[in-house]
Amino acid sequence: MKHLAEHAADGSCSAKDVAEAYGIPQEALAKILQRLAKAGLLTSQHGIKGGYMLARDAKTISAFEVIQSD
């Protein structure tokens, strides 16, 4: 979430980019991102420039919402 918030102006970020930035296995991160998208905190875009982005302004997303999204 932090990475996506910091790169919001760049558009969407791929799971691969976020995984590499934080040293997290891509498969594990992809599952987490999918859960966050299902909870309505992220949106996903398919295609060449696809990836994930915050569904709304970062200032309106609480840590509780992120934790609760499981």
pTM of the predicted model as reported, rounded to 2 decimal places: 0.85
User: What confidence tens digit (pLDDT) does each residue in 10-55 have?
Assistant: 889 999 999 999 999 999 999 999 999 999 999 998 888 889 999 9
How far CA 20 is from CA of 14, 23, 33, 38, 48, in Å, comes to: 10, 5, 14, 23, 18
d(CA 14, CA 68): 23
For residue 38, the model assigns a pLDDT of 94
E strand residue ranges, 1-70: 42-45, 51-54
